[in-house]
Structure 1
Amino acid sequence: MGINFHNQGNRTTYTTRTADHSWLELIKKIVPFENVSQALEIGCGGGIYSKALADLGAQSVTALDFSRTMLEGARENCKYYHNISFKYGSAYETGLESNSFELLLERALIHHIKDLDVCFHEAFRLLQDNSLFIVQDRTLEGCLLKGDNSHIRGYFFECFPRLIETEVSRRHKSHVVLDTLKEAGFKNIEVMKLWETRKVYQHKKQLLRDISERTGRSILHELDDEELQLLVSHIDNALPGSSNTSFVEKDRWTIWVAEK
C-alpha cells in the first residue's frame, strides 16, 4: 500500500510538529550558520526542518520536494518565513544550479530513495566546496528496537511482524550510506546517533489519536484501517499508566555529516 505523498488527504501530515530541541542543539554544533547564506532541504515534506534551518540562522532556505501536494502544505506551514522559497523537483534531478549552497539537508528521505549513488552525486553537484551535507535517517537496527513508553515505533513490528520486511527493503545500512557518500566525492564524514524527541503527548488518548491518523508515519500506511485499529488497541494495552499519563516519544536516528 504505502503512503501516497500526492494525495490531498496527506497534505498536512508532515506539518504538525516543530523541530525538537535535541535536534536543534546538535545541528548548531555541526553547522557554522554564520557562513550559511544559502541552505537547501531536499525532501522538505511539510517544511518543519526548512523552518528550523531558517531559525538557526540560514539567511535563505530553498525547500524542495517531489510532491506538489507536500509543497502546498509546506508553503502554508512556512507562510511567515519570507526567506524560504519552494521548488518542485526530485532528489535525483533537482533542476537547481551547481555549486549554489553552503548547506544541504536530507532528513527522513533516503529510505524512499532506491539509488543512493545518483542522489548523493546530485547533492555533491549542488554544494559549494567545503560545504556540508547532512543526511539523517533511521537504520533498521534503530527501527526494530523493543517497544516501550518512549520508543512507540517498536510496537508496530511487535504487533505486525510483516512490517519488518517493509523496513528491511527500504532502510539502508549505515556502512552503505557511508561508502556511497565517499564514492560521490564527499570527505571528512562523521556518523552520529541521536535519540530525538518526536513529540510530547499530554495523555495517552492524544498519542493513540496520532497513531490512528497515521500522522507523519509512512510505515502505518502499509496497514489497512482494521489493522490500524488493532495496532492502536495493542499499544493502548501495552503502554503503562492511566489514560492521563503523559508520554515523550523518541526515535533513534543516524546522522551522516559529510563535507564537499
Structure 2
Amino acid sequence: MGMDFHSKQNRFSYTTRTADNSWIQTIKDLVPIKQISNAIDIGCGGGIYSKALSDMGVASVTGVDFSKEILEGAKENCKDYSNISFLQGNAFDTGVVGGSYDFVLERALIHHIDDLESCFEEAYRILDSDGYLIIQDRTPDDCFVKGSSEHIRGYFFEHFPKLVEIEAQRRHDSKLIMQTLKAIGFTEMEEVTLWETRKVYENKEALLLELRERIGRSILHELTDSELNQLVHHIDNSIAKESLIVEKDRWTMWKAVK
C-alpha cells in the first residue's frame, strides 16, 4: 500500500507541527549555525524544518521535495517567510548549482532511498568547501523501542508485527552510512542520538485523532482502515494518561563536513 506522496489528500500531512527546541539545540551543538547563510532542506516535506532554520537565523533557505503536492503544502505553511523558496527535485538531482550552499539538511529522507551513494554525492556536489551536511533518520535500533505514552511509535510495531519487517527493510545501518559518507569524501563525521519531542497533545483524543488521519506518519499508510482502527483502539487502551501527552521519537543524526 504505502503513502501516496503525490496525492492532494496528503498535501498538508507534514505541515502540522513545529520543530521542537530539542532539535534546534542539537543542530546548534553540531553546526555553527550563526555562520550559516545559505541552507538547503532536501526532502523538505511541509517545510517544518525549513522554517526552523530560518527562525534560527539562516538568511536563505531552499526546500526541495519530489512531490508537487507536498510542496504546495510547504509553500502555504511558509507563506510568511520571504527568505524560504521551494524547488521540485529529488535527492539525486536537486537542480541547484554546485557549491552554492554551506548547509545541507536531509531529515527523514534516506529511509526512502536505496542508493545512499548517489544521495550523498549530490549533497557533496552542492555544498561549498567546509560546508556541513546533517542527516537525520532512524536506524533499526531507533525504530523498535517499546511503546509508551511518550514513545507512541513503539505501539505500531508491537501490535502489527508485519510493520516490523517493512520498517527494518527501509532503515539503514549507521555503519553503512558512515562508510558511504567517508567514501564520498566527507570528513569530521559525528553521530549522535536524539530523543526529539514530536508533538505535545493537550489530551489523548487529540493524539488519537491524528493517528486516525495518519497525519505525518507514512508507516500507518501500510495499514488498512480496519487495521488502523484496531491500532488506535489498542493505543487508547494502553495509555492511561488523558491529558498532556508529550510524544517523543528516537533518531540518529550524522554530521559530516565537505
Asked if Structure 1 and Structure 2 have the same fold, meaning a TM-score greater than 0.5 normalized by the shorter chain, the answer is yes
- Say which is worse superposed, 23-32 or 188-197, in terms of deviation: 23-32
Are 1:110 and 2:91 an aligned pair?
no
Tell me which residue corresponds to 2:201. Answer: 201
Partner deviation per Cα, 1:107-154 (whole Å, 9 max, x = no partner): 000000110000000000000111100000011111101101101100
Q: Is the 8 A contact 2:46 2:74 kept in 1?
A: yes
DSSP-derived class of the 1:146 partner: coil
Provide the aligned length of Structure 1 versus Structure 2.
Answer: 258
After the TM superposition, which residues 1-260 of structure 1 pair with which residues of structure 2 at under 5 Å, given as runs? 1-241=1-241, 244-260=242-258
Post-superposition Cα deviations, 1:170-199, rounded to whole Å, max 9, x if no partner, equal 000111111111111101100000000001
| Distance of 1:105 and 1:10 partners within structure 2 | 22
SS in 2 for 1:202: strand
Query: Structure 2 CA distance, aligned partners of 1:32 and 1:139?
Result: 26
Residue-by-residue CA offset, 1:46-68 (whole Å, 9 max, x unaligned) = 00000001111111001000000
* Structure 2 letter corresponding to 1:172: H
Q: Which runs of 5+ in 1 are unaligned?
A: none
In 2, Cα distance between equivalents of 1:13 and 1:216: 5
Take 2:19 and 2:179, find their aligned partners in 1: how far apart are those partners?
28
Give 1:230 deviation, angstroms. Answer: 0.2
TM-superposed CA distance for 1:168, in Å, is: 1.2
Deviation at 1:202, TM superposition (A): 1.0
Cα deviation code 1:183-238 (max 9, x no counterpart)? 11101100000000001111111111111110100000000100000000000111
User: Identity of aligned pairs, percent?
Assistant: 57
The structural deviation recorded for 1:76 is 0.2
Aligned-partner Cα distance in 1 for 2:206–2:38: 38
CA shift digits 1:67-103 (9 cap, x unpaired): 0001000000000000001111010111111000000
TM-score normalised by structure 1 residue count: 0.98
Tell me which amino acid in the other structure corresponds to 2:21.
H
Give 2:216's aligned amino acid. Answer: G
Q: CA contact under 8 A between 2:27 and 2:33: conserved in structure 1?
A: no
Q: What amino acid maps onto 2:252 in structure 1?
A: T
- Do the aligned residues in 1 keep the contact of 2:155 with 2:235 (CA within 8 Å)? yes
SS in 2 for 1:4: coil
**Alpha-carbon distance, 1:30 to partner:** 2.0
